Amino acid sequence: MAIFNPVSLIATTRSRAALEVLKRCLLIITTSAVFPEQLGRRLVEQGVRLVTEYGMSELAIGQTSAPRLRVDSEESQAIYELVVLPSHPSEDKCWANTGDGAFRRGDVFVKHPTAAGRYRCIGRLGDYIKIIPKDVIALNALEYESKVRMDNEDVLDEVVLVGDERPRPGAPLFPKQGTHPDADAVLERVWATIEKDVNGVLPARLDRGMLRVVHDTPVARTGKGNVIRPQVYSTFGAVIESMYDA
């Protein structure tokens, strides 16, 4: 059995030899952040016994040992937020952030398509952007980003979905540092993936004119490897504005 955070496991799966080792393990557990669904399905199809574990460092509870929880929903999008109730035995009142003493975790879930009462964590509230073409549409940025990265990990370090409260989404593309690939070549690769896996599949289209290649610039991340979205939006504000000015 081996335990990884998502960033480490994603890096490990790039090696054929490492993948063969993963397949021989009794279990591969990923924890501390959301693991890309598309890659997870691919690993399982290749024989990896993959488990995603959800827990909270604030309350020292895991997904299978939390009887006093509720999920608050945004019904229009079928998105649910985890809330730890005051009656939970591990609830430390210092974490309470609602009037009734509950702890709104900020983690969001969707219902399992077939198993009643089960949910899948898909990110945090901060991982959603709301575009406003006419009516508001909430987009899971992680879902878009993981699909774009999947076929382009050899050329991309990162892709970040932007467009909160804008009429359409866009995405700065960050090639691997030090490689200096041709921007048009990167766009061709990424656009082929978007046409195949994003447009017509996810709720809103990504237009080619809303992509920008950003060379040799690191993306701000947390200690767990997650993108710090507000810092990216601030650092690359001019790049983002150029998408909407075009």
Residues whose CB is less than 8 angstroms from the CB of residue 123 and which lie 6 or more positions away in sequence, other chains included: 34, 107, 108, 140, 141, 142
Question: Residue 211: which of 157, 170, 179, 169 has the closest Cα?
Answer: 170
- Residue type at position 157: D
Domains delineated in the chain: 2-52 (no CATH), 57-111 (no CATH), 127-245 (3.30.300.30)
- C-alpha 15/C-alpha 156 separation (Å) is 17
Confidence at residue 168, expressed as pLDDT on a 0 to 100 scale: 93
List Cα–Cα distances, 30 to 49, 92, 197, in angstroms: 11, 26, 24
Confidence at residue 189, expressed as pLDDT on a 0 to 100 scale: 95
Confidence at residue 59, expressed as pLDDT on a 0 to 100 scale: 65
Strand 28-30 versus strand 2-4 pairing type? parallel
- C-alpha 188/C-alpha 204 separation (Å) is 20
Confidence at residue 90, expressed as pLDDT on a 0 to 100 scale: 67
Residue 166 three-state SS: coil
- C-alpha 85/C-alpha 87 separation (Å) is 5
For residues 193 and 151, is the Cβ–Cβ distance under 8 A? yes
- 148-183 pLDDT, tens digit per residue, is 988 898 899 999 999 998 999 999 999 988 878 899
Confidence at residue 193, expressed as pLDDT on a 0 to 100 scale: 95
Confidence at residue 76, expressed as pLDDT on a 0 to 100 scale: 40
- Crossing angle of helices 141-150 and 183-197, in 10° steps, is 120
The ranges of the chain with pLDDT < 50 are 63-71, 73-77
Confidence at residue 6, expressed as pLDDT on a 0 to 100 scale: 83
Confidence at residue 181, expressed as pLDDT on a 0 to 100 scale: 86
Confidence at residue 78, expressed as pLDDT on a 0 to 100 scale: 67
Confidence at residue 91, expressed as pLDDT on a 0 to 100 scale: 59
The pTM for the full model equals 0.67
Q: Give residue for tokens 């048009």.
A: 184
